[in-house]
Structure 1
Amino acid sequence: MKKAFKIIGITLLIILAILLAIPFVFQSQIEKIVQRYADENLNAKVSFSSVNLSFIRSFPNAQVDINDLVITNFKPFEGETLATSKSISLAMPIKEVFKSSSDEPLTINSINLDETLLTLKTNTLGDVNYDILKESETKNNDSSDAQGFTFDVKDYSINNSAITYIDESSNTSFFITEFNHNGKGTFSGELSELDTKTEGKISLNIDSTNYLDNNTLKLDALIDLDLNKNKYTFKENKGLINQLPITFNGFVQQIENGQLIDITFENPGSSFKDFLAVIPKTYSKDLENVETTGDFKLNGMVKGEITDNSIPNLDIKINSNNASFKYPDLAKRVENINIDVAIKNTTGNTDETYVDINALNFKIDQDVFKASGTLKNITDNMLVNLDIDGVLNLSNLKQAYPINLDQDLSGILKTKLNTAFDMEAIETNAYSRIKNTGTASITGFTYSSEDMVNPIQISNADMTFKPGTVSLNSFNAKTGSSDLAATGSINNLLGYLLSDKKLQGNFNVSSQQFLISDFMEADDNAKEKNKTTADSESLKIPDFLDCTIYANAKTVVYDNLNLKNVVGKLVIKDQRATLSNMTSDIFDGKMSISGDVSTQGTKPSFNINLGADGFDIAQSFTDLDLLKNLAPIAKILDGTLNTTINLKGDLNESFSPDLQTVSGDAFAEVLTRELNAENSKLLTALESNLNFIDFNQLDLKDLKTNLTFDNGKVNIKPFYIKYKDIDIGIAGSHGFDKSLDYNLVFNVPAKYLGSDVNRLIGKINDPEVNKISIPISANIAGSFTNPKVSTDLTSGVSKLMKQLVEIQKQKLLSQGENTIKDILSDVMTGNSGNSNTPKDSTVIKTDTTKTNTPNTEQTIKNILGGLLNKNKQKKDTVNLK
Structure 2
Amino acid sequence: MKKALKITGITLLIIFFLLVAIPFAFQGQIKDMVKNFINENLNAKVEFSDVSLSFIRSFPQAHVTVDDLVITNYKPFEGETFATAKNIAFTMSVKELFKSTSEDPIVVNSIAIDEALLTLKTDPLGNNNYDITKEKENAQTAVDSSSGFAFDIEDYKISNSAFTFLDEKSNTQVYISELNHSGNGTFSEEKSQLDTQTAATVSMSIDSTQYLNQNTIKLDALIGMNLKDQTYTFMENKGFINQLPLVFSGYFQQLEDGQDIDITFENPESSFKDFLAVIPEAYSKNIDDVETSGDFKVNGIIKGKITETTIPKLDINISSNNASFKYPDLPKRVDNITINTTIKNTTGNSDDTYVDIKKLNFKIDSDSFKSSAQIRNLTENILVNANIDGTLNLANLTKAYPIELDKQLSGILKGKLNTSFDVNAIETNAYQRIKTAGSASISDFIFSSEDIVNPIQINKADMTFNPGHVSLNSFDAKTGTSDFRATGTIKNLLGFLLSDKKLQGNFNVDSNNFVVSDFMIEDESATENSNKTTSDSESLKIPDFLDCTINANAKTVVYDNLTLKDVTGTLLIKDQEAKLNNLTSNLFNGVLALTGRVSTKTDTPVFDLNLGAEDFDISQSFKGLELLQNLAPIAKVLQGKLNTVIKLQGTLNNKFTPNLNTISGDAFAEVFTTNITQNEAILGKLSNALKFIDFNKLDLKALKTKLDFSDGLVSVKPFNLKYEDIDIVVSGTHNFDKSLNYDVVFNVPAKYLGSDVNQLLGKINDAEVNKLTIPVTANITGSYTNPQVQTDLSSGVSNLTKKLVEIQKEKLLNQGKDKINDLLGGLIGSKKETTKDSTVVKSDTTKKADPLKEGVKDLLGGLLKKRKKKKDSTKN
TM range (shorter): over 0.9
2:591 matched residue in structure 1: 590
2:659 corresponds to 1:664 = no
Q: What does residue range 565-584 of structure 1 map to in structure 2 within 5 Å?
A: 565-584=566-585
**Structure 1 letter corresponding to 2:336:** N
1:105 matched residue in structure 2: 105
**Partners in 2 of 1:740 and 1:260 — Cα distance?**
89
Q: What does residue range 494-509 of structure 1 map to in structure 2 within 5 Å?
A: 494-509=494-509
1:831 matched residue in structure 2: 830
1:464 matched residue in structure 2: 464
Q: What does residue range 271-670 of structure 1 map to in structure 2 within 5 Å?
A: 271-450=271-450, 452-516=452-516, 518-519=518-519, 528-670=529-671
2:238 corresponds to 1:243 = no
Residue 484 of structure 1, CA deviation = 0.5
Residue 119 of structure 1, CA deviation = 2.5
Change (3 A) 1:527 1:75: same
**Partners in 2 of 1:798 and 1:134 — Cα distance?**
106
3-state SS, counterpart of residue 225 of structure 1: strand
For structure 1, which segment, 257-266 or 63-72, has the greater mean C-alpha deviation from structure 2 after superposition? 63-72
1:705 matched residue in structure 2: 705
Change (3 A) 1:875 1:318: farther
Change (3 A) 1:767 1:252: same
Change (3 A) 1:199 1:142: closer
2:183 corresponds to 1:183 = yes
Residue 875 of structure 1, CA deviation = 11
**Partners in 1 of 2:650 and 2:460 — Cα distance?**
39
CA contact 1:136–1:146 (8 Å) conserved in 2 = no
**Partners in 2 of 1:260 and 1:223 — Cα distance?**
16
Cα-to-partner distance string for 1:67-104 (whole Å, 9 max, x where unaligned): 12111222222222222222211112223222332785
Cα-to-partner distance string for 1:578-616 (whole Å, 9 max, x where unaligned): 111111112222211111111111111111111112222
Cα-to-partner distance string for 1:254-292 (whole Å, 9 max, x where unaligned): 112111110111111111111111111111111121111
1:739 matched residue in structure 2: 739
3-state SS, counterpart of residue 276 of structure 1: helix
For structure 1, which segment, 751-760 or 102-111, has the greater mean C-alpha deviation from structure 2 after superposition? 102-111
**Partners in 2 of 1:339 and 1:61 — Cα distance?**
57
Change (3 A) 1:527 1:541: farther
**Partners in 2 of 1:30 and 1:770 — Cα distance?**
119
Change (3 A) 1:773 1:860: closer
1:852 matched residue in structure 2: none
Residue 871 of structure 1, CA deviation = 5.0
For structure 1, which segment, 686-695 or 408-417, has the greater mean C-alpha deviation from structure 2 after superposition? 686-695
**Partners in 1 of 2:459 and 2:548 — Cα distance?**
23
CA contact 1:138–1:145 (8 Å) conserved in 2 = no
Change (3 A) 1:151 1:715: same
**Partners in 2 of 1:527 and 1:112 — Cα distance?**
49
CA contact 1:448–1:530 (8 Å) conserved in 2 = no
**Partners in 1 of 2:528 and 2:649 — Cα distance?**
30
**Structure 2 letter corresponding to 1:406:** D
3-state SS, counterpart of residue 398 of structure 2: helix
Residue 560 of structure 1, CA deviation = 3.8
2:861 matched residue in structure 1: 866
**Partners in 2 of 1:861 and 1:731 — Cα distance?**
55
**Structure 2 letter corresponding to 1:360:** L
Residue 6 of structure 1, CA deviation = 9.6
1:196 matched residue in structure 2: 196
Change (3 A) 1:100 1:146: closer
Residue 861 of structure 1, CA deviation = 13
**Partners in 2 of 1:465 and 1:665 — Cα distance?**
49
CA contact 2:191–2:227 (8 Å) conserved in 1 = yes
3-state SS, counterpart of residue 495 of structure 2: helix
3-state SS, counterpart of residue 475 of structure 2: strand
Cα-to-partner distance string for 1:444-491 (whole Å, 9 max, x where unaligned): 111233564443221110000011110000001122332111000011
**Partners in 1 of 2:281 and 2:690 — Cα distance?**
85
**Structure 2 letter corresponding to 1:534:** S
TM-score (norm: length of structure 1): 0.92
For structure 1, which segment, 768-777 or 781-790, has the greater mean C-alpha deviation from structure 2 after superposition? 781-790
**Partners in 1 of 2:253 and 2:100 — Cα distance?**
37
CA contact 2:101–2:148 (8 Å) conserved in 1 = no
**Structure 2 letter corresponding to 1:620:** S
CA contact 1:642–1:669 (8 Å) conserved in 2 = yes
Residue 666 of structure 1, CA deviation = 0.8
3-state SS, counterpart of residue 806 of structure 2: helix
**Partners in 2 of 1:33 and 1:59 — Cα distance?**
21
**Structure 2 letter corresponding to 1:298:** V
Change (3 A) 1:860 1:285: closer
Change (3 A) 1:839 1:58: farther
**Structure 1 letter corresponding to 2:815:** Q
**Structure 2 letter corresponding to 1:831:** S
2:757 matched residue in structure 1: 757
CA contact 1:35–1:46 (8 Å) conserved in 2 = no
**Structure 1 letter corresponding to 2:789:** V
Residue 205 of structure 1, CA deviation = 4.1
3-state SS, counterpart of residue 144 of structure 1: coil
**Partners in 2 of 1:220 and 1:838 — Cα distance?**
163
**Structure 2 letter corresponding to 1:49:** S
**Partners in 1 of 2:598 and 2:349 — Cα distance?**
52
Cα-to-partner distance string for 1:764-793 (whole Å, 9 max, x where unaligned): 111221221111011112222222211111
CA contact 1:226–1:232 (8 Å) conserved in 2 = yes
Residue 337 of structure 1, CA deviation = 0.5
- Corresponding residue pairs, total: 854
CA contact 2:143–2:151 (8 Å) conserved in 1 = no
**Partners in 2 of 1:625 and 1:367 — Cα distance?**
55
For structure 1, which segment, 31-40 or 325-334, has the greater mean C-alpha deviation from structure 2 after superposition? 31-40
**Structure 1 letter corresponding to 2:861:** G
2:164 matched residue in structure 1: 164
3-state SS, counterpart of residue 200 of structure 1: strand
For structure 1, which segment, 161-170 or 245-254, has the greater mean C-alpha deviation from structure 2 after superposition? 161-170
1:816 matched residue in structure 2: 816
**Partners in 1 of 2:304 and 2:497 — Cα distance?**
36
CA contact 1:640–1:671 (8 Å) conserved in 2 = yes
Residue 507 of structure 1, CA deviation = 0.5
For structure 1, which segment, 747-756 or 54-63, has the greater mean C-alpha deviation from structure 2 after superposition? 54-63
Change (3 A) 1:102 1:597: farther
CA contact 1:520–1:654 (8 Å) conserved in 2 = no
3-state SS, counterpart of residue 708 of structure 1: strand
**Partners in 2 of 1:140 and 1:486 — Cα distance?**
76
**Structure 1 letter corresponding to 2:342:** A
Cα-to-partner distance string for 1:692-715 (whole Å, 9 max, x where unaligned): 222233223332211111111211
**Partners in 1 of 2:8 and 2:397 — Cα distance?**
80
Residue 654 of structure 1, CA deviation = 1.1
CA RMSD of aligned residues (A): 2.9
**Structure 2 letter corresponding to 1:552:** N
**Partners in 1 of 2:38 and 2:566 — Cα distance?**
79
**Structure 1 letter corresponding to 2:830:** N
**Partners in 2 of 1:613 and 1:680 — Cα distance?**
26
**Partners in 1 of 2:804 and 2:578 — Cα distance?**
67
> Unaligned stretches of 5+ in structure 2?
841-853, 872-876
Change (3 A) 1:602 1:127: same
CA contact 1:371–1:386 (8 Å) conserved in 2 = yes
1:48 matched residue in structure 2: 48
**Partners in 1 of 2:125 and 2:493 — Cα distance?**
33
**Partners in 1 of 2:737 and 2:834 — Cα distance?**
81
**Structure 2 letter corresponding to 1:790:** Q
Residue 5 of structure 1, CA deviation = 9.9
CA contact 1:809–1:875 (8 Å) conserved in 2 = no
**Structure 2 letter corresponding to 1:787:** P
Cα-to-partner distance string for 1:223-249 (whole Å, 9 max, x where unaligned): 111111111111111111211111111
Residue 620 of structure 1, CA deviation = 1.4
**Partners in 2 of 1:782 and 1:590 — Cα distance?**
35
